[in-house]
Every structure is written in C-alpha cells, then in structure tokens.
Amino acid sequence: MSKKKMGNVWIFIEQDGGKIADVSLELVCKGTELAKELGVKTEAVLLGSDISGLAPKLHEFGCDNVFVADDPGLRFFTALPYTSVIVELIKAHKPNIFMFGASPVGRSLAPRIASTVLAGLTADCTELKIDSFEDKAANQVLPNKLMQIRPAFGGNIIATIVNSWEDPQMVTVREGVMKMHAPVPGRKGEVTKVAVKLSVEDQVIQVLERFKEAKSVNLKGAQIIVAGGYGMGGKDGFDLCVKLAEALGGTVAASRASVDAGWIGHDYQVGQTGVTVRPRLYIACGISGSVQHRAGMAESSKIIAINSDPNAPIFSIADYGIVGDAKDVINKMIQAYKGGS
C-alpha cells in the first residue's frame, strides 16, 4: 500500500483595502516554519476583489504559492461565498494544516469551513508545533501531527490538542502570539488563479455599508507598557499606573480583572482574551500573573513585576521583582524618574 502524500500548510489571508492583516503575515511566517519541518510547501489563500497585487508580498514573507480568487462577488467579506470557494479548494488540493487569524473574520469563517468538510478546529491557539501523537484509543502512533496549544478552563491550564481526524488540521491563532520575521525582498513564488462560481445561495447576504472606528490605543506598537491589575485596589489606584506610563512615555494597559471592574476599557486588556504584546519594557503593577495574562505578555524583552504577594505567579517570568504595596512603589518610581529627568 502506497503511503499517503502529505498536504501543504495553508494560511487564510485576511485583507482590507489592499492591506494584509498583520495576523496573516504572522501566520505565513509560522506556516513556513511548520512546512519546512514537514518537508511541504507553504500556501496562502487570498480572496477578494482587486487583490492580485498582494501576492508578491506574501511570496516575500515565505509563501511558495498563493491561491488567488479575485472576483467582484468577493468585494467585501461575507461568510457564505468565502466558505464556498475555500471548501472547493480544500476538496481539490487537500491541505494538511489550515490556519486562520482569531479575528472576527477568521472566527466567523473557520467554523463554517470546518463543519462543512468535517474537520477538527481548535480556536485561539497560542503556540503550534509538530510532534508525534500516541492515539491510545486506536492503539497507534500518528507522526508529524500539529500540536495545537491554547489556554483552557479560563486560562488555568495550558491544553495541547491534536486532531486525529482526516486533514486539514484547522486552527485559529491570536494576533501577536507568532513572531513575524523580516520579508525577503524580491523572493518569487507561484500564483494559482481560482475561478469563482458563486451560486444564488452564496450571495443571499450582501454588505450594504460598513462602519469602521479606529482604536484609541495601539498596545501592539507600544515599547513601554505599564499594566495595572486588581491589586491596585480601585480606580484611584489604577490611575497611578496611568501617571507612571505618562512619566515614562509609555502606554497604560490592564489585566482582565481591572477591565471587568470598570477601571479602563477592553482595548487596553492584555492577555488571552485581550491583546498580545512584546514591548521592550513591561511593568506589571498589582497583577498576580494568571496563565491567561502571562500568555499575552511573557515575550516582553524586560518585565518588572510589583506585587505585595511574594508568591505571585508573575514573579516566575519577571526579570526584576519588587515585593511591596504597588501604590507606594509606583509613587516612588514616579518621584525618582522625575527627579532624575
């Protein structure tokens, strides 16, 4: 019996107005890493209208081939026509791994595709790697399977999920958790044009108008972040984090507990259900350091943790730890910084 040929690694490319989403480029970079380990190709799936010019950028980031479905019927994202086109591509080319960004678009599209092709889907992954899996129920070892790693049970544990069903192994991945490497200018690749044949059923939903509101904060681009947690004790305490961030020329952020308490908006939340950041300096004030929060900031270059509990989990990843009342420590930091400036 001949060995089944392994499929390639696919990435769904999210784009808007001629700009590729950062999460898609991050996944292309991760996809090239996985594909190299498996000895297969990295392929992108690019759907939309007037989007053919985006393929060269995907090649420069590592894609060997870009499936391009460029059609007026795909002018704006609606799940039905996108699902129809991608399902046909999967049936024809049988990818091994298929990755989506855990964005509103990816979270809407990936489950529809997975349920249609009867594939497994793991949401909000924070790490992906290739390893063998011992399927004890079937008494077999499955080589080269995708280890789909994500926080579970409210962030209290880290789960590794393996799909033993037929390919593709499907995942959504949060923005910022995969490192984006630099593109290789002039790198070439293939383009496979995809004919789009949409049925009446595929077009029963139309986007009549779109409203876009710019975010008031860009945590991803911040180089210095001062994050406040529930240990700040209240809105007045949390405002000290804002003052420290202003003094340092940085940006304030928050844990989920302080956002839930109403001290600051959700756009400022760092963690599994917030934003993933990698600043040069991350100061965690009154944050205990749950698995969920650490997943969003553990890759920071330098971490300073301030907490009254010497056994707080945040100290396990901190470069420098200060045990004490966070409000007192922050006041002294502000005074020391202003005194030295």
Q: What is the pLDDT of residues 148-173, one digit of tens each?
A: 998 777 666 788 999 888 889 999 99
Give the mean model confidence (pLDDT) for residues 31-37. 97
Given the structure tokens 């949390």, which residue do they identify? Answer: 238
Which of the pair, 218 or 187, is modelled with greater confidence?
A: 187
Tell me the average pLDDT of the chain: 91
Q: What pLDDT score was predicted for residue 340?
A: 59
> In which band, very low, low, confident or very high, does the pLDDT at 135 lie, cut at 50, 70 and 90?
confident
Q: How many angstroms separate the Cα of 97 from the Cα of each of 13, 32, 36, 151, 338?
A: 14, 12, 13, 20, 52
Count the Cβ atoms, other than its own, within 10 Å of residue 117.
Answer: 19
Pairing of strands 19-20, 15-16: antiparallel
pLDDT in tens, 99-108: 999 999 999 9
Cis peptide before 168 (omega within 30 of 0): yes
pLDDT in tens, 280-309: 999 999 999 988 899 889 989 999 999 999
Is pTM beyond 0.85? Reply is: no
Q: What is d(CA 92, CA 102) in angstroms, rounded to the nearest whole number?
A: 25
Q: Do domains 9-203 and 219-340 have the same CATH topology?
A: yes
Q: Fold for domain 9-203?
A: Rossmann fold (3.40.50)
| 2 pLDDT above the threshold of 50 | no
Residues contacting residue 236 through CB under 8 Å, at least 6 positions apart = none
What is the distance between the terminal CA atoms of the chain, rounded to a whole angstrom? Answer: 74
Give the mean model confidence (pLDDT) for residues 88-116. 96
DSSP-derived 3-state class of residue 18: coil
> In which band, very low, low, confident or very high, does the pLDDT at 136 lie, cut at 50, 70 and 90?
confident
> In which band, very low, low, confident or very high, does the pLDDT at 273 lie, cut at 50, 70 and 90?
confident
> In which band, very low, low, confident or very high, does the pLDDT at 1 lie, cut at 50, 70 and 90?
very low
Using only C-alpha atoms, the chain has a radius of gyration, in whole angstroms, of 22
User: What percent of the chain is helix, strand and coil (3-state, nearest 5)?
Assistant: 35, 30, 40
Q: Fold for domain 219-340?
A: Rossmann fold (3.40.50)
Q: Quick one: which of 168, 76, 156, 159 has its CA closest to 116?
A: 168
Residue ranges per structural domain of the chain: 9-203, 219-340
pLDDT in tens, 326-337: 999 999 999 998
